[in-house]
Structure 1
Amino acid sequence: MGCIQLFEDYLPKRPYHTDDLISGLKINKKEKAKLARLVQPNGPTHRYWMVFDLDRSDAGMHWDNVGAPAPNLIARNPANGHAHLLYLLQTPVRTASDGKTGPLRYAAAVEAGLRSRLGADRGYSGLICKNPINSHWMVHQWRDDAYTLDDLADYIDLTPEKAKEKPVEDYGLGRNCILFDELRAWAYKAIRQGWPTYERWLKACLDRATGYNINFTTPLDISEVKHTAKSVAKWTHRNFNRGTFDDYIARTHTSRIQAVRGKKGGKANGKTKREQGIAMLQSGASVQQIMKKVQVTKKTVYNWKKSK
């Protein structure tokens, strides 16, 4: 199956689309939207394509000049040579916050590295791209096979371990990481201030997420913001209610007490278990009594008997 057919197959059910950015974006069913010159390649929850915007007359071959991987598809403007380069991912990256954060962070680091190597437009939001299905563009397919993240990372000397060390950039998939991290950090504390109903909590999470989003140089589409807000709201409301929080505090308090006791070597009344056991031996207590009282094994008590 060719990449152009895959592009059509992976289009969202109701993508944004337009023939002219000046007239604004529309939303329609895929069957109609796929005919437009510009269309949304990825939905709000999964990233099938990494898309880069090159505003230069030699955009069609610039990737080869800088040692970048061959794009699966290039859709090029016949008037000025500017192009969108599309890389198909073998495993789509889940961008919603209920997905695993590790692959998302890795993908964000790979994307940022490729953008830098290609010299692609940092201000490009990625929401819509030149539609390779539409005959208005000069379209070329350079590669049939989809890329793994590791395949792409080879071109920028990046491993998953290095990706974890790199700061997340306010660009592309990095925005999804930043939004999720900031929103959940706020939510863990904010939900305890009154334990709101789910409807009120969802609105609060969406308002907060929207506030974070507008601080990005190029904000995410509102559909992505809504998905992240809903995921965080749903998880925190289910796991952080008054009852579960009280249980959490109690467990934490018990764990801290046990940790302190462990650091003290199991002291009681200022004495270690060994000191207690030897004192009980000296007072004539039996091995069974000491085992039960001090909570140690029979072998330990016998060792104390030998050393006293």
Structure 2
Amino acid sequence: MGCVKIFEDYLPNRPYHTDDLVSGLKINKKEKAKLARLVQPNGPTHRYWMVFDLDRSNAGMHWDDVGAPAPNLIARNPANGHAHLLYLLQTPIRTAIDAKTAPLRYAAAIEAGLRNLLGADRGYSGLICKNPINSHWIVQEWESTPYTLDDLADYIDLTPEKAREKPVEDYGLGRNCMLFDELRAWAYKAIRQGWPNYNQWLNACLDRAIGYNVNFSTPLDISEVKHTAKSVAKWTHRNFTRGTFDEYVARTHTSEIQSFRGKQKGKGKREQGIILFEAGATIKEVMKQLTVDRATAYRWMKHTILLHTT
């Protein structure tokens, strides 16, 4: 099966589409949307394609010049040579975080690495792309076999271990990771303020998620934000009740642990950062208050989350 046919088969049931961005996006059934010049390649919960936007006249062969993997598909503008490069994933990445986040973090690191290697536009949202089904574009299939994440990582010297060490970026899949991390750090603290019913809590999580999302240089589509908010709301409402929280306090605030934490006070910014995260502070608030960079604050937040989940 050719990659163009796979692209058609994997389209969302009701994708965004348009023939002209100036006229705005529409949503329609797949059979109609697939005829448009621009179409949504991935749905809100799974990423089948990594798509990169190259605004250069030689975009069709630039990947070879920089030593990047061959795209499965390239859809190129005949007027200026600008193109979208599409890489098909053998196993789709679940972007609605409701299970293990390690595959998503690994994919986010790979996507950011490929973007840097290709010199692709970091302002590209990835929501829609040049539709390889539409004859308006010059379409070429370079690679017929889907890529595993490890296949792609080979081109940027990124092992799973290195990916876990590398902080996620405010780009592509990294936004999904950052949104989830910031939202759940807030949720662990906020749900204890009144123990709201589920509908109230879901609305509160969605409001907070939307607030985080607008601070991204290129925000996620609202459908992805809603999925993340629902995931965090469901998990915390199910697992954080008055009873389970009392058990958590008893388990994590023994006299030995309290003594250890007391000894840590005054030792430096790291401990102050962890205390701030435990109190519900956001990454940006910790960065500002302690004058540290995002990577440092993110590393402290991950440590804080581990304390809450072990």
- TM-score bin (small chain): 0.7 to 0.9
Q: Output the amino acid matched with 1:217.
A: S
TM-score normalised to structure 1 length: 0.82
Q: 1:235 matched to which residue of 2?
A: 235
Q: Output the CA distance in 1 between the equivalents of 2:177 and 2:84.
A: 24
Q: Does 1:204 align with 2:204?
A: yes
One-letter identity of the residue aligned with 1:148: T
> Counterpart of 1:58?
58
Task: Please name the residue that 2:36 is paired with.
Answer: 36
RMSD of aligned C-alpha atoms? 1.4
- Cα drift, residue 246 of structure 1: 2.0
- Number of aligned residue pairs: give it: 259
Spell out, residue by residue over 1:165-190, the C-alpha distance to the aligned partner (whole angstroms, 9 max, x if none): 11211000010010000000000000
Identity of paired residues, percent?
85
Offset at residue 32 of structure 1 (A): 0.9
SS in 1 for 2:121: coil
Which residue is 1:265 aligned to? none
Residue 190 of structure 1 aligns with which residue?
190
**Which whole-Å CA distance do the structure 1 matches of 2:30 and 2:208 have between them?**
31
**Superposed counterparts of 1:141-152, under 5 Å:** 141-152=141-152
Kindly state the Cα deviation for residue 257 of structure 1 after the two structures are TM-superposed.
4.9
Pick the structure with greater CA Rg: 1
Kindly state the Cα deviation for residue 99 of structure 1 after the two structures are TM-superposed. 3.2
Q: Distance in 1 between matches of 2:258 and 2:134?
A: 68
5+ residue gaps, structure 2 = 260-310
> How far, CA to CA, are the matches of 1:232 and 1:22 in structure 2?
35
Where does the alignment leave 5 or more consecutive residues of structure 1 unmatched? Answer: 262-308
In 2, distance between residues paired with 1:81 and 1:176?
A: 31
CA distance in 2, matches of 1:26, 1:5: 22
Q: Which runs of 4+ in 1 moved over 4 A?
A: 257-261
1:302 corresponds to: none
1:161 is aligned to 161
What corresponds to 1:283 in structure 2?
A: none
Offset, 1:258: 7.5
**TM-score normalized with structure 2 length:** 0.81
Provide the residue aligned with 1:137 in structure 2: 137
Structure 1 distance, partners of 2:65, 2:176, is 31
CA–CA distance in structure 1, aligned partners of residues 224 and 211 of structure 2: 14
Which residue is equivalent to 2:272?
none
Which aligned pairs between 1:21-100 and structure 2 lie closer than 5 A? 21-100=21-100
Aligned-partner Cα distance in 2 for 1:112–1:44: 19
Instruction: Write the distance in 2 (CA, Å) between the matches of 1:216 and 1:260.
Output: 37
Q: How far is 1:243 from its partner?
A: 2.0
Measure the CA separation in 2 of the matches of 1:116 and 1:44. Answer: 24
Which amino acid counterpart does residue 226 of structure 1 have in structure 2? K
